[in-house]
Amino acid sequence: MVIAVLAGAKVTKVRPGVVVSSDLYHRERPDVIMGILTTQLPRSPGLTDHLLSDWRQAGLRASSCFRLYLITIPQVDVSVIGRLTEQDWEQVEVRLRHGLGA
Comparison of pLDDT for 102 and 40, the residue scoring more:
40
Q: What is the pLDDT of residue 95?
A: 96
Q: What is the pLDDT of residues 50-101, one digit of tens each?
A: 999 999 999 999 999 999 999 999 999 999 999 999 999 999 999 999 999 8
Question: For position 7, what pLDDT does the model report?
Answer: 64
Structural contact between residues 71 and 6, judged by C-beta atoms closer than 8 angstroms = yes
pLDDT in tens, 1-54: 777 776 666 777 788 999 999 999 999 999 999 999 999 998 999 999 999 999
* Domains of the chain with bracketed CATH: 2-100 (2.30.30.110)
**Distances in Å between the alpha carbon of 66 and those of 7, 16, 24, 27, 76?**
15, 10, 23, 25, 22
Nearest C-alpha neighbor of 34 from the set 66, 9, 81, 12? 66
From CA 70, how far away is CA 4, in angstroms rounded? Answer: 14
* pLDDT at residue 15 in the model: 84
